[in-house]
Amino acid sequence: MTRAIPVDPLLEDNYNNMARRPDAPELLRQWSERSERYRSKADAILDCAYGSSERERIDLFRCGEKDAPLLVYIHGGYWQRGDKSIYSFVAAAFNDSGVDVAIIGYPLCPQVTLSEIVASIQDALAWLYLSASSLGICAERINLCGHSAGGHLTAMALITNWIARDNGFPLDLVKTGIPMSGLYQLEPLLHTTISDALHLSTDEVQRLSPGFSRPTSSAPVLAIVGGAETPEFFRQTDALVEHWSESGQQIEKFVESDVDHFDLVDRLASTDSEIFRRVTGWLR
Residue-wise pLDDT for 24-35, tens only, equals 999 999 999 999
Is residue 127 included in any domain, yes or no? yes
Mark 96-105 as b/e (b = at least 16 C-beta within 10 Å): ebebbbbbbb
Is residue 212 included in any domain, yes or no? yes
The secondary structure element, H or E, covering residue 95 is: helix 90-96
Is residue 237 included in any domain, yes or no? yes
Quote the number of domains for the chain.
1
Over residues 211-218, the mean pLDDT reads: 95
Q: What is the CATH number of the domain that holds 244?
A: 3.40.50.1820
Distance separating alpha carbons of residues 14 and 8, to the nearest angstrom: 10
Q: Give the model's confidence band at 4: pLDDT under 50 very low, under 70 low, under 90 confident, else very high.
A: confident
Q: Residue 2: its pLDDT value, please?
A: 61
Is residue 178 included in any domain, yes or no? yes
Q: What is the mean pLDDT of the chain?
A: 97
Over residues 112-135, the mean pLDDT reads: 98
Q: Which domain covers residue 255, as residue numbers?
A: 9-16+28-282
**pLDDT, tens digit, for every residue of 27-66?**
999 999 999 999 999 999 999 999 999 999 999 999 999 9
- Collect all residues with Cβ–Cβ distance below 8 Å to 234 and sequence separation of at least 6: 225
Is residue 59 included in any domain, yes or no? yes
Is residue 60 included in any domain, yes or no? yes
Q: Residue 66: its pLDDT value, please?
A: 96
Q: Give the model's confidence band at 3: pLDDT under 50 very low, under 70 low, under 90 confident, else very high.
A: confident
